[in-house]
Amino acid sequence: MLLLLLVLLLPLCWAVEVKRPRGVPLTNHHFYDETKPFTCLDGSATIPFDQVNDDYCDCKDGSDEPGTAACPNGSFHCTNAGYKPLYIPSSRVNDGVCDCCDGTDEYNSGVVCENTCKEKGQKERESLQQMAEVTREGFRLKKILIEDWKKAREEKQRKLTELQAGRKSLEDQVEALRALKEEAEKPEKEAKEQHRKLWEEQQAAAKAQHEQALAADAFRELDDDMDGMVSVAELQTHPELDTDGDGALSEGEAQALLSGGAPTDADSFYDRVWAAIRDKYRPEVSPAPLAPEVMEPVEEQPPPPSPATEEDEEGEEELDEEEEEEDEEDAEVPSPLEPPQPASTPEEDRMPPYDEQTQAFIDAAQEARTKFEEAERSLKDMEESIRNLEQEISIDFGPQGEFAYLYSQCYELSTNEYVYRLCPFKLVSQKPKLGGSPTNLGTWGSWAGPEHDKFSAMRYEQGTGCWQGPNRSTTVRLSCGKETMVTSTTEPSRCEYLMELMTPAACPEPPPDLPSDGDHDEL
């Protein structure tokens, strides 16, 4: 800001030559009156004026030798007319190096210094003029941003008020639909349970009937003498019913299966015996029917082989290859004797479709559920919108909301290794260029500028923790610019990052333009 004022005030500055000792700034010339003794600026001594700049240090603060290198703690003032004045240590006076752009520090070293103050002043003025132009344009954009946020905030506040007013009505609607849903689900639940219960009863009856049929078949097979009773001896014809693992069903084991050894009829067999032998019992395999006799064909004598030609040999080879391929294909075809693969879900195990009345209850309940879920989803969306609006409106976007436009944006900067991403008022992250997960460098904390310039820096805290170190954090310094971009990212200390963000919102109001006089251009 001071530099901009200097640029604007340059034409008003007149170069006035005031007589004073070498190395003394204009602001201190009144301390150096050649008609009076000189008093050291620190008050440590008073000496005759002819001892000023006599190349001997008389004052403790070195103020008697502003134009020589006699005092180690002294300083030399470069006037640098046309550019910026400069103080240099006295030790650099007449050291053979041109430190002042006007060359006044090398007045007695034998080195001829070219006066470059005019060229430097011209470059400085051009740079300051460019900065002034950036500031003017940036501030113009800043005023637009302020006006945009003013309108946007009013619109967001209006929308928030509407949503808050409509939330109660939607909550009542959700509760009413919840009651209708629960009411519709009661007959649905009862009808579905009744349907399932009936189906399970039918399944149980069918299973019992099937078991009885299996038991009846087994009884008939075991009843070798067909006297309507199964005896111990008849059970012993099935060694797979062995209970002690010796491979044979002993008389004692058979008696135990028959609960005492007495022959049992079909009813008792099902009630007392079948459950004990069901898993071990193997039905007798009926012998396969014999194939009808077929007369063997009389072998015909092959004709005498004729001399084979090359074409015949090639044909025979091709025929042999085809026969081999057919044999391989035949080998891949499964045998018709292999049992068929069971279906994934037998038809009889599937619950039959609901009857018309039950389906009507289900459809009514589903319609009630759909309406309730849609209303509940609308309420959740509304509540999320309210939270987002409340959060956005509550954020401090600057004295006049000039930084609000950054809230919905993210800016990236690529370096050799990483891509840094800044989402203002949200978070800062770092992602490796060669792939990998992003690392959180901090989430929005607060404004962190000095007391007199609070909005010049942002603080992002509580990022991903460093290995055996603190959580990562980032300070974002804001600078004036016509565009919005991240210009640099560094890590000054471990786990603490510094990011530079250029934005029109950081541009100060420039001073008013002053009339200029082109004859005077001193800095």
Pairing relation of β-strands 496-503 and 38-39?
unpaired
Question: pLDDT value at position 311?
Answer: 46
Question: pLDDT value at position 413?
Answer: 94
d(CA 129, CA 127) in angstroms, rounded, equals 5
CA distances from 208 to 211, 212, 269 (A): 5, 6, 15
d(CA 6, CA 523) in angstroms, rounded, equals 7
Question: pLDDT value at position 77?
Answer: 94
Contacts of 382 (CB under 8 A, 6+ apart): 163, 166, 167, 170
Question: pLDDT value at position 17?
Answer: 59
Length of the chain: 523
d(CA 422, CA 402) in angstroms, rounded, equals 18
Question: pLDDT value at position 512?
Answer: 73
Query: pTM for the whole thing?
Result: 0.57
| pLDDT averaged per 10 residues, the chain (length 523) | 44 55 90 92 92 93 92 92 91 92 90 91 88 90 94 92 91 93 93 91 87 84 82 79 79 76 80 81 60 42 46 48 51 41 60 90 93 94 93 91 93 93 95 91 94 94 90 95 94 94 92 54 49
CA distances from 471 to 34, 491, 496 (A): 64, 14, 9
Q: Are 8 and 128 in contact (CB under 8 A)?
A: no
Crossing angle for the helix pair 356-394 and 117-222, to the nearest 10 degrees? 160
d(CA 74, CA 415) in angstroms, rounded, equals 45
Pairing relation of β-strands 427-432 and 439-447?
antiparallel
Q: Are 487 and 501 in contact (CB under 8 A)?
A: yes
Question: pLDDT value at position 506?
Answer: 93
Token pair belonging to 165 = 């007013």
For residue 425, give the amino acid letter.
F
Question: pLDDT value at position 323?
Answer: 52
Question: pLDDT value at position 267?
Answer: 82
Helix (H, G, I), strand (E, B) or coil at 79: coil
Question: pLDDT value at position 260?
Answer: 75
Q: Are 474 and 445 in contact (CB under 8 A)?
A: no
d(CA 150, CA 148) in angstroms, rounded, equals 5
Q: Are 40 and 29 in contact (CB under 8 A)?
A: no
Question: pLDDT value at position 129?
Answer: 87
DSSP per-residue letters across 265-303? -HHHIIIIIHHHHTTT--PPPPPPPPPPP-PPPPPPPPP
Question: pLDDT value at position 347?
Answer: 64
Tell me the H-state helices in 287-355.
310-332
